[in-house]
Amino acid sequence: MPINLAMINLLPLHLAIITACNPKYTPHPSGSLNTRIQARIRSLDESNGDCYEGTFVYDARHGSGTYTWKNGNVYEGDFFEDKRQGNGKFLFANGNTYDGEFVNGVFEGLGRYEFEGGFYEGQWKSGRYHGKGLLLFTDGSSYKGDFKDGVAHGRGQETDAQGGIRSGYWKEGIAI
């Protein structure tokens, strides 16, 4: 469907739409902050080889988009003022994935992290397991309970690979 330019002029934002990455990035010539939307198609390759495809507001990544690092990592989701913020999915080059909430560019809130050998699903703070969560391994062993700074801490239940269950308290990753 073609863009209706008459409708674009009614919106109170300065917005760019990125459609593909290539080395021909040119900032919008106006450079002004005005109240009319200025939809434009442009590409953005970072000088380090990374690539962003998505929306910009006032020349900052803002809205939804996909950021691809030169090393193969990919983030697809929400951006706010040039940071990963809101809901998104992070695909690591090694095959691990995180699907959940981001705050200031890091895992924070509720999310699921899948890695070779298992997954963690639960609360995050500053990029680490923190709060209530479940850590489950492919051999059937698991820990369900409280986490702090990336390790079991507080009340929880551990199940070993043979089905044995231990309930109790953990401090800094060690059952007490």
Average pLDDT, rounded, for the chain? 81
- CA pair distance 98, 54, nearest whole angstrom: 20
Q: What is the DSSP letter of 127?
A: T
Residues 128-147: tens digit of each pLDDT: 999 999 999 999 999 999 99
pTM higher than 0.95, yes or no?
Answer: no
Residues 75-121: tens digit of each pLDDT: 999 999 999 999 999 999 999 999 999 999 999 999 999 999 999 99
Backbone angles phi, psi at 158, to 5 degrees: -110, 135
| Both tokens assigned to 22 | 């290539």
Provide the pLDDT for residue 48. Answer: 84
pLDDT tier at 44, thresholds 50, 70, 90:
low
Asked if 146 and 170 touch (Cβ cutoff 8 Å), the reply is: yes
Asked if 3 and 39 touch (Cβ cutoff 8 Å), the reply is: yes
Percentage of the chain modeled with pLDDT above 70: 74
Of the spans 21-25, 42-46, 68-72, 141-145, which averages the highest pLDDT?
141-145
- CA pair distance 120, 79, nearest whole angstrom: 24
